[in-house]
Structure 1
Amino acid sequence: MEAYVVATACTKFEKKPNQTFKGLTEEVYLDLLREAELENGDLIGQAWFGNCGMGTFGQRNIRGQVCFTPLVNKKLFPERVGIINVEGGCATGSMAFHGAWKDVVSGIEDVSLAIGVEKIFQPDRPDMIQEIYDGGIDQFDKDEWIKFYKDVGDQLGKPFNPEEKKGTIFMNTYGLQALWHMKKFGTTQKQIALAASKNHFHGSLNEKAQYQFKVSVEDVLNDREISYPLTRSMCAPIGDGAAAALICSKKGLKLFTKEVQDRAIKIKSSVLTGGKYRTLDEPGLSRIAAQKAFKQADIIQKDIDILEIHDATSFCEIYQLEMLGFCDDGKGGQFVEEGKTSLDGELPVNLSGGLVSKGHPVGATGLSMVHELSVQLKGEGAKRQSKRHKYALAENGGGVIGFEEAACSVIILQSPF
């Protein structure tokens, strides 16, 4: 059964210490209604609410129900509609999308909502920020992953110290992955810096990005080291925000105005895969997700025009280009260095600015990727608009198990034009 993204919305990503979860929910939901040309959400039959950090603020259960109560009271969200709460680390938003997509393709609902809402930044409570991130790695058997990373670090000559606080534990693991890739394939720190600088340029063109300034390759390389070879400009910042998507069936599409119908994005595939403790030279879970997604969509890599890749660090762009099949293993750095992933390149990547520039409020990130790709596929990207925009792919990872994410989503979308 066919499914469509009928509307998307995304707040500006930034540090919002005075904003509330309910406020972010209402802001992005009302933007979504306006985009869908709806006065209220009475068409919605199901909702999937993604969030990671709310429990740290005291709301550990019924998160979506709590955040939507004001909207129900205002008659903006329908009464008695079920809300399913979703959490999957940085892949949370994509999991919410996947749930809403399954509602539609299964024939159970004609219209389903996916929303991701996140607050992480607390200026006076770094312990709360740390607690949220700690949830993305095994807290029951810490010795297992500490030993894993120490063994890898010893092989690479880069001692692993879980107490080192230059960034989150994830930055340390990405640093190990990047260094392994450099030693294995000859990837350079400058190639990683090129990916970072390129995405900061894209972010300078995005009014909703957390960082809207350019950063030269030299400044990226000279920035404060987080975990060699990664510097601060190569790493996603802490921030808050929300994003949402409204998904419908072919039958449900007829419930919207003709203008909205004409701009609906077709969902070609949505796939989730799970991580494991893999060997260092074994392909990651995103490769499996991509293979399944391309098969489901019945297209190949050469058909894709634009990508949104989960660059929690800029090394991830290099690595995921390989895992997703857009270049050979070990050639991702060269692919970036040749300018192929820039706005005017043959395969633009992270025109939103990516996580390193757009920002990374973890529960909202996956849906912000869908939002950016929808903007691009409709030809509404303004100064950052890709020239080619028929098919687009989003790759979103969450949590960590060993040398890879705990969860991965790959979504392929098709332009309405």
Structure 2
Amino acid sequence: MRDAYIIGSFSTRFQKWPDKSFKDLTREAYLGALADAGMENGDDIEFGWFGNCGMWLHNDQGSIRGQVCFTPLVNEGLFPARVPMINVEGACATASMALHGAWKDILSGQTDVSLALGVEKIWIPDEPEKIQRSFYAGIDNFDADEWMEYYKAAGEEAGKEFETGPNRTVFMDTYAMQACYHMKKHGTTQRQIAAGAAKNHNYGAKNPNAQYQFEMSVDQVMQDRPVSYPLTRAMCSPIGDGAAAAVVVSEDYFQGLPQAVKDRAVKIRANALSGGKYKKLDEPSLSMTAAKKAYSMADLKPDDIQVAEVHDATSFCEVLQVEMMGFCDIGEGGRFIEAGETGPGGKVPVNTSGGLVSKGHPVGATGLSMIYELTTQLRGEAGERQVPDARIALAENGGGVMGFEEAACSVTILERARD
């Protein structure tokens, strides 16, 4: 298998950007990734993968999204004309799927330089109903009765009734149901979930790209406004906008680069995808399947991972995903986090960016923002949140809803290219 390297990575700050368009955010992420790669222009780029979920809610732009957003850049000579661009959508896993495509470009041997970019604008202040529509695009809208019955039955088993109504979302309620089941079966506590949220808010306070840049104590997290027990607002990812990108190159191209660029490059050791299904409550998640594939591909094991970003759309997700990634035993995620094992100086620092609950979650950009954080960590450029001498990193990013798991999941393993 050919080696693939990330030589440029960039993320905008995540926040509500009412005055920035999709084209503005695309430009910022693209030019930022080029500059990070030491490239004066994009003339060497041979292929593009453009990730987005909700642009169809803005001016009915449901197709050719990437081509539309890159048109000004082509006209200005900043992006090469005639380069093919594939549009990607996989709900919250969209940007990771874009990276997967760029990585496969390199592995195919047909491409030496490929671009992956994800962009999203979720905040629509004048039409808040569209925000809800954007989220409900990530669940089965043809056979809603199927998941309604599934959740009603699962609620009885979890000890938390499935409810619907105004001022609620299926997504937060079903995460809460999963948390209650984990609490019932494994003895996980609300305070342990809150410990993960506080840890991530404290990391996010040190991240200039984070949507929320303030520290929180465990007590403050628990006392925040209830969303759906055991989840409070501080345990749930916010609504915001942003973009992120990566430039991926082949070994041949990498060898011809200046030493300064090589020294900051990151190798993609593995990139694995898995698909969701209506699973039993006590059945491992699709993320475990993706993680096992990634570990096998990279010839590594969980103990080799030194820093990770996992998809904490709610802070319970981090409890679950540290188990699914093999960082601790099944059922021990809450205690593992509460003991500080995912924080500074812990066994494996997780979500040093602040995670989705603090960094933010502009759906189509999230996966590549994880890659940006881990690339920054592996380069030793993360400042106050730096994990000392990090060499191997993992990103887990799930998207969409299929019962009690995502419809798709990506696990990527990265390695510092130069010691």
Query: Which letter maps to 1:124?
Result: D
Which position in structure 1 is the counterpart of 2:230?
Answer: 229
Any unmatched runs of 5+ in structure 2? none
- Percent of aligned pairs sharing the same letter: 58
Which position in structure 2 is the counterpart of 1:324?
Answer: 325
Tell me if the contact between 1:6 and 1:246 (Cα under 8 Å) persists in the aligned partners.
yes
Corresponding residue to 2:113 among 106, 111, 114: 111
Cα deviations across residues 233-267 of structure 1 (Å, max 9, x unaligned)?
A: 00000000000000000012134332112211011
Segment drifting more, 31-40 vs 92-101: 31-40
- Paired residue secondary structure (2:257): coil
Corresponding residue to 2:89 among 84, 87, 98: 87
Q: CA deviation at 1:301?
A: 0.9
Tell me if the contact between 2:51 and 2:87 (Cα under 8 Å) persists in the aligned partners.
yes
Cα deviations across residues 171-202 of structure 1 (Å, max 9, x unaligned)?
A: 11100100000000000000000000000000
Tell me if the contact between 1:253 and 1:261 (Cα under 8 Å) persists in the aligned partners.
yes
Query: Which letter maps to 1:132?
Result: S
Q: Distance in 1 between matches of 2:236 and 2:124?
A: 19
After superposition, the CA RMSD in angstroms is 0.9
Segment drifting more, 41-50 vs 340-349: 340-349
Query: Which letter maps to 1:252?
Result: Y
Q: CA deviation at 1:227?
A: 1.1
Q: CA deviation at 1:36?
A: 1.1
Which position in structure 1 is the counterpart of 2:376?
Answer: 375
- Paired residue secondary structure (2:343): coil
Query: Which letter maps to 1:144?
Result: E
Query: Which letter maps to 2:79?
Result: F
Query: Which letter maps to 2:85?
Result: I
Q: Distance in 2 between matches of 1:26 and 1:390?
A: 30
Q: Distance in 2 between matches of 1:87 and 1:24?
A: 18
- Paired residue secondary structure (2:160): coil
Query: Which letter maps to 1:71?
Result: L
Tell me if the contact between 1:269 and 1:412 (Cα under 8 Å) persists in the aligned partners.
yes
2:354 matched to 1:353?
Answer: yes
Which position in structure 2 is the counterpart of 1:297?
Answer: 298
The runs of at least 4 aligned residues of structure 1 exceeding 6 Å deviation read: none
Tell me if the contact between 2:159 and 2:181 (Cα under 8 Å) persists in the aligned partners.
no
2:5 matched to 1:17?
Answer: no
Query: Which residues of 2 match residues 208-247 of structure 1 at below 5 A?
Result: 208-247=209-248
Query: Which letter maps to 2:51?
Result: G
Q: TM (normalized to structure 2)? A: 0.98
Q: Distance in 2 between matches of 1:161 and 1:374?
A: 41
Cα deviations across residues 255-301 of structure 1 (Å, max 9, x unaligned)?
A: 43321122110110000000000011111101110100000001111
How many residue pairs match? The answer is 416
Cα deviations across residues 287-324 of structure 1 (Å, max 9, x unaligned)?
A: 11010000000111111100001000001111001111
Query: Which letter maps to 2:294?
Result: A
Which position in structure 2 is the counterpart of 1:366?
Answer: 367
Tell me if the contact between 1:36 and 1:256 (Cα under 8 Å) persists in the aligned partners.
no
Q: CA deviation at 1:215?
A: 1.1
Q: TM (normalized to structure 1)? A: 0.98
Which position in structure 1 is the counterpart of 2:148?
Answer: 146
Which position in structure 1 is the counterpart of 2:65?
Answer: 63
